C-alpha cells in the first residue's frame, strides 16, 4: 500500500497541476499522505464525496475535473450523434461555486451544452431541471449534511435521478480509464454555457403548489406559526417563498442561520437530524409558541421537524415519524378525494419503518422496498411508470419525495406538504403529536433508533469491513433475549429462515447490508455508509398501543427495549 500511495502522489507531483497543489502535497505528513492518496474518490450511494484538499482521495479541482471528464466521455458514448445537454447546480459550501464552474468548464470543453444555475439552488431543483430542460445528465456540487471540511458531487441521469447501475459503474470505468490529469479538458467554451435561474424556479414552485390536497384547511389555518431554518444553506432560496405562495402568513426564518455560509458558523454539523443544529430554531419556536419547526440541510434535500409534544415541550421527530405523518396524510387525502383505485404506490427503503408498509396496505396502495438511497426509489418509479402511480415515498434519514416531477428527495416540496399536513391536523383540533398518536393507536407504535459508528481513514475502513465479516460469520442466536428468526444478506442476495433453514433469493441489487429479524418483531439492520466513514445500525421495535393516552408509557417501554438491544450488540 505504501508503494501505491507513493506512486500515486509522485504521479500528481510530476503532472501539470498547479504549483500550489504540488507544494501542498509535499507538506503532507505520512498519515495525511496516506489518507489523501490511498484510494480514488468513487461514486457511492451519493456520488463523489470527500474532504477538500489535495490528493486522489480529496475533493479538489483535479478530482472534480477527472470525474467530469469521465462522465463526459460516458455521455458521448451513451448518446452518439445526439445533442447532449447537462444541468449544474451547487450549494452553499466553501468552493461549491468553484467546483460547479470547473464542472461546467470540462463539460463545455467536451462539446456538451451546460445549463448552469447562476447562484446556489437546492438539489431537488437540479433534479427537476434535468427533465424540464431536456438534459441527458446533471451534477450538483454538495456534500449534503457532512461536516464543513467536506464537499461532494452528485451525478444524475436523464430521468432526473442519481445514476444507478449500469451507468454508475460505467462512469467509474471511464473515470478510471483516465491515466493522467493531462487528459482532462479544463478550458471552458463560454458559448456552450448558459446561466439559468427563474426560468426553472417558477415552474418548479408551481409544480409543488399543484400538489395541494387540503386548500380549505390551509386557508383557515393561514396564520399557522411556522419557524424555519435553512442552517446556512440553499433552503433560504425557495422554502420561505413556497410557504408564502401556499398561503402561510406567519413564517419566521431563523435570522442567525438565514445567510448561506460554508463555514456553518452556528452549528457543529449542518445536519437537521442533530438537535444541536436545530437549537436556534427550537429556541425561536419556544418564544413564539410555534405549531411547527422545520430546518433543511445545506442542499435542501432533507428536512428535520419538531413540534410540541403532549407535555408542551418542543420535541424533534425522527425521519421515520415524519415519513409516517406525511404518507398517512397523503394517502388519507388521496382516498377522500377519490384518487385511489388500486394502481397507486408509495416507495420506501429497507431500513425505513415498516409502519409505512402497514399504512399503505390499509389504503390499498402498494409499497415496494428498495436499497438505501433515493436513486433506488427513483428506479422503481421509472420501472413502473405507466403501471403504478407514485404518490410519495421516503427514507429514515429525513428524505421525502411527493409526486415524481423530482426524482430525488425534496425538502422544498416536503416543507410545503408538512406545513399543509400540520394545518390540516390543526383544523381538526389536533397537534402533530396528537395525529402521530392516533396513527400509532390504529397501526401499532413503531419506534426506531440509529447508531452511527465513525471509523475514519484507511484503518477505519478496514475496521468496518471486519465488523461486517464478523456479523456474517457469527450470526447471533438471540439478541436481547429474543430469538433471531430470519437474516437477510443483501450482499449475497439471500434471505434465510433460521427456524426452517429455507433460503429464498432477494431481488434487489447487491449491497453490503445485513438485516436480523427477531421473534418479538424487532428488526436490526447493519450498513456501512456509502457517503461517510461510518457503519450504521438501524433498530426498529414495535408494540400495540390500545389508547393514545398510553403514548408516553409505550414510548418509554420501547426506548428501554432499544437500549437493551444496543447493550447486547455492544453499540
Residue ranges in 247-298 assigned as alpha helix (H)? 279-288
Cα 429 from chain centroid? 33
Q: How would you classify residue 100: left for phi > 0, otherwise alpha for psi between -120 and 50, otherwise beta?
A: alpha
Residue for grid cell 452528485: 154
Partners of residue 535 on adjacent β-strands: 453, 528
- In this structure, the chain runs to a length of 571
- Close Cβ partners of 393 (under 8 Å, ≥ 6 residues apart): 327, 346, 347, 348, 377, 400, 401
State residue 390 phi and psi, 5-degree precision: -85, 125
Which position among 56, 144, 403, 431 bears the catalytic label?
144
In a 13 Å sphere around the CA of 197, the CA atoms on its Cβ side amount to 5
Q: Which long-range contacts (CB under 8 A, 24 or more apart) does 17-26 make?
A: 17/62, 17/181, 21/54, 21/60, 21/61, 21/62, 24/53, 24/54, 25/54, 25/55
Which of 150, 499, 401 lies closest to 298 in space, CA to CA? 150
Residue 179 to residue 196: CA distance in whole angstroms: 34
The answer to whether 36 is a known catalytic residue is no
Cα gap 185→114, rounded to integer Å: 15
198: Cβ–Cβ under 8 A, 6 or more apart, which residues? none
Q: Which candidate, 165, 116, 207, places its Cα nearest to that of 406?
A: 207
CA distances from 38 to 45, 48, 56, 237, 480 (A): 20, 16, 8, 38, 39
Q: How many Å is the maximal CA-CA distance in the chain? A: 71
* Residues 170, 155: Cα–Cα separation, whole Å: 13
Residue 421 CA to residue 436 CA, distance in Å, equals 12
Strands (E) located in 11-130: 48-51, 85-90, 113-117
Residues catalogued as catalytic: 144
Amino acid at each position: 500500500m505504501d508503494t501505491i500511495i507513493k506512486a500515486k502522489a509522485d504521479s500528481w507531483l510530476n503532472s501539470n497541476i498547479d504549483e500550489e497543489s504540488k507544494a501542498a502535497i509535499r507538506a503532507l505528513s505520512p498519515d495525511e499522505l496516506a489518507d489523501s492518496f490511498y484510494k480514488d474518490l468513487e461514486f457511492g450511494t451519493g456520488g463523489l464525496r470527500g474532504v477538500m484538499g489535495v490528493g486522489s482521495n480529496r475533493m479538489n479541482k483535479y478530482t472534480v475535473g477527472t470525474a467530469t471528464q469521465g462522465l463526459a466521455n460516458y455521455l458521448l458514448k451513451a448518446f452518439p450523434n445526439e445533442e447532449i445537454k447537462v444541468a449544474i447546480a451547487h450549494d452553499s459550501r466553501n468552493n461549491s461555486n468553484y467546483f460547479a464552474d470547473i464542472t461546467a468548464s470540462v463539460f463545455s470543453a467536451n462539446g456538451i451544452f451546460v445549463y448552469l444555475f447562476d447562484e446556489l439552488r437546492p438539489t431537488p431543483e437540479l433534479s427537476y431541471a434535468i427533465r424540464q430542460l431536456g438534459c441527458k445528465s446533471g451534477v450538483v456540487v454538495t456534500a449534503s449534511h457532512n461536516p464543513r471540511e467536506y464537499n461532494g458531487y452528485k451525478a444524475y441521469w436523464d430521468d432526473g435521478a442519481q445514476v444507478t447501475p449500469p451507468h454508475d459503474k460505467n462512469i467509474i470505468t471511464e473515470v478510471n480509464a483516465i491515466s493522467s490529469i493531462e487528459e482532462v479538458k479544463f478550458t471552458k467554451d463560454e458559448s456552450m454555457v448558459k446561466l439559468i435561474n427563474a426560468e426553472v424556479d417558477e415552474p418548479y414552485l408551481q409544480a409543488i403548489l399543484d400538489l395541494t390536497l387540503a386548500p380549505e384547511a390551509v386557508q383557515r389555518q393561514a396564520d399557522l406559526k411556522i419557524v424555519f431554518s435553512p442552517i446556512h444553506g440553499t433552503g433560504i432560496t425557495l422554502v420561505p417563498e413556497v410557504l408564502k405562495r401556499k398561503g402561510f402568513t406567519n413564517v419566521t426564518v431563523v435570522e442567525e442561520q438565514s445567510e448561506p455560509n460554508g463555514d456553518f458558523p452556528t452549528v457543529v454539523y449542518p445536519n437537521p437530524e442533530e438537535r444541536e443544529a436545530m437549537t436556534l430554531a427550537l429556541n425561536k419556536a419556544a418564544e413564539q409558541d410555534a405549531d411547527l419547526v422545520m430546518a433543511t440541510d445545506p442542499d435542501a434535500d432533507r428536512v428535520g421537524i419538531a413540534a410540541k409534544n403532549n407535555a408542551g415541550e418542543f420535541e424533534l421527530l425522527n425521519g421515520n415519524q415524519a415519513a409516517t405523518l406525511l404518507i398517512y396524510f397523503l394517502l388519507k387525502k388521496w382516498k377522500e378525494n377519490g384518487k385511489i383505485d388500486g394502481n397507486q404506490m408509495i416507495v420506501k427503503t429497507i431500513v425505513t419503518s415498516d409502519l409505512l408498509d402497514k399504512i399503505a396496505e390499509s389504503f390499498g396502495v402498494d409499497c415496494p422496498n428498495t436499497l438505501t438511497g433515493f436513486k433506488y426509489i427513483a428506479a422503481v418509479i421509472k420501472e413502473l411508470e405507466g403501471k403504478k402511480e407514485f404518490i410519495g415515498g421516503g427514507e429514515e434519514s429525513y428524505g421525502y419525495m411527493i409526486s415524481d416531477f423530482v426524482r430525488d428527495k425534496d425538502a422544498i416540496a416536503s416543507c410545503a406538504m408538512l406545513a399543509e399536513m400540520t394545518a390540516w391536523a390543526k383544523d381538526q383540533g389536533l397537534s402533530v403529536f396528537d395525529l402521530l398518536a392516533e396513527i400509532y393507536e390504529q397501526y401499532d407504535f413503531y419506534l426506531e433508533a440509529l447508531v452511527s459508528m465513525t471509523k475514519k481513514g484507511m484503518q477505519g475502513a478496514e475496521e468496518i469491513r471486519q465488523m461486517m465479516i464478523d456479523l456474517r460469520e457469527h450470526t447471533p442466536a438471540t439478541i436481547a433475549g429474543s430469538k433471531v428468526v430470519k437474516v437477510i444478506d443483501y450482499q449475497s442476495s439471500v434471505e434465510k429462515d433460521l427456524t426452517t433453514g429455507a433460503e429464498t433469493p432477494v431481488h434487489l441489487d447487491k449491497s453490503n447490508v445485513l438485516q436480523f429479524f427477531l421473534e418479538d418483531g424487532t428488526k436490526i439492520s447493519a450498513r456501512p455508509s456509502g457517503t461517510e466513514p461510518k457503519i450504521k445500525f438501524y433498530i426498529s421495535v414495535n408494540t400495540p398501543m390500545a389508547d393514545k393516552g398510553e403514548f408516553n408509557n409505550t414510548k418509554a417501554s420501547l426506548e428501554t427495549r432499544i437500549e437493551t438491544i444496543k447493550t447486547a450488540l455492544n453499540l
